[in-house]
Structure 1
Amino acid sequence: MNILQVFSLMCVVVFYFIYFSKQYLLRKKGIKSNQIAKNTVHNKEFFIEFLMKIATFLVVIVEVVSIVFNIYREIPLFFRFIGVIFSIFGVCLFAISVWQMRDNWRAGLARNDKRELVQTGVYTMSRNPAFLGFDLVYIGILFSFFNLILLFFTIFPIVMLHLQILQEERYLVEIFGEEYVKYQKKVGRYFGRKSVFSDV
Structure 2
Amino acid sequence: MGKIWVYMICIGIANSIIFGKLEDLNKIIISESARGIDFTISLIGIMALWMGVMNIAKESGLVDLIGKWLEPVIKFLFPKIIKSKEAVSFILMNMSLNILGASNGATAFGLKAMEKMQELNPNKSIASNEMIMFLVINMSSIQLVPITVLKIRLDEGAVNPSEIIFTTLFATAISTIVGIVSCKLMERSS
Normalised by the length of structure 2, the TM-score is: 0.29
Normalised by the length of structure 1, the TM-score is: 0.28
Question: Which of 1 and 2 has greater Rg?
Answer: 2
The structure with more helix, counted as a fraction of residues: 2
